[in-house]
Amino acid sequence: MTTIAFFDLDYTLLNTSSGLEYLREIIWQRRAPLWLVGYIGVRYRLNSLDFGEANAWLIKHVGKHGKTEAVQFFRQWVAKRVFPRLTPSGKAQIAWHKKQGHQVIILSASIEEIVQPVTQYLGLEMDYLCTHLAVVNDHYTGKLDGPLCYGVGKVHWAKQWCMQNKLNFPESAGYFYTDSSSDVPLLELVQHPIAVNPSPKLAKIAKSRGWPIVTW
């Protein structure tokens, strides 16, 4: 039976948040007005705007010239600022799973424009699940394409992937590495839940349930 190893991206494989690095870059390059970034940030902190909605708002400015141009921006920025933030321990763990013959999949709330180049850089081809921004005629609509890949949304995307690849779910879900308590819905379903650089809340949950806690 195929065994899947899911890896979260931000603060797990990365020693930072790709979202924060993204905001810094678009402010530096002036691809979005500073007032808009601040406004979205305040609303996000007040829980009046979720992660997907925040990205949908931003992309209307960042990708105003179309997805084709935006993808080039993301690829250049990710290579320069995100690849160096991948942890050696995370890359080593991916290599270990590949040697075991496991199917490695990046599972992240981040948008595809960020997750795809990271996945390819790690030699995982197109094996990623993430948040997708809706596009019509090469232009972003300001909406999401499918459910937000966050919390129970990660369970949705993991299940969909397994169904498309004719695998049983959650039986095939062997491992999940993540730092966030928002990922508990999927951690509870996999055979080997691992808390990586866990948030205080996830650390408490992991300790109470006997889940391994590792630092990368």
Nearest 5 degrees, angle CA 187-CA 144-CA 10? Answer: 40
94 pLDDT exceeds 90? yes
Bridge partners of 14, per DSSP, are 86
Q: What does the pLDDT average to over 111-119?
A: 97
Give the pLDDT band (50/70/90) at residue 151. Answer: very high
Q: How far is CA 45 from CA 62, 68, 117, 152, 211, in A?
A: 21, 31, 28, 20, 29
Task: Measure the CA–CA gap between 76 and 40, rounded to whole angstroms.
Answer: 24
Task: Measure the CA–CA gap between 52 and 148, rounded to whole angstroms.
Answer: 6
For 154-180, how does the pLDDT look when each residue is reduced to its tens digit (9 = 90+)? 999 999 999 999 999 999 999 999 999
46 pLDDT exceeds 90? no
Written as six digits, the tokens of 177 are 């590495």
Query: What average pLDDT does the structure give for the chain?
Result: 94
How many distinct structural domains can be found in the chain? 1
The whole domain housing 13 covers 4-214
Closest by CA to 116, choosing from 158, 83, 146, 89, is 83
56 pLDDT exceeds 90? no
Stated pTM of the model: 0.94
Q: What is the pLDDT of residue 51?
A: 79
Q: How far is CA 193 from CA 145, 168, 186, 187, 189, in A?
A: 28, 18, 8, 5, 8
Query: Sign of the C-alpha dihedral, residues 80, 83, 87, 88?
Result: negative
Task: Measure the CA–CA gap between 143 and 140, rounded to whole angstroms.
Answer: 8
What is the H or E stretch that residue 120 is in?
Answer: helix 112-121
CATH number of the domain at 179, please. 3.40.50.1000
Q: What is the pLDDT of residue 57?
A: 84
44 pLDDT exceeds 80? no
Which has more pLDDT, 78 or 49? 78
Q: What does the pLDDT average to over 86-113?
A: 97
Instruction: Please state, as a whole number, how many other Cβ atoms lie within 10 Å of the Cβ of residue 30.
Output: 9
23 pLDDT exceeds 80? yes
Q: What is the pLDDT of residue 54?
A: 85
35 pLDDT exceeds 90? no
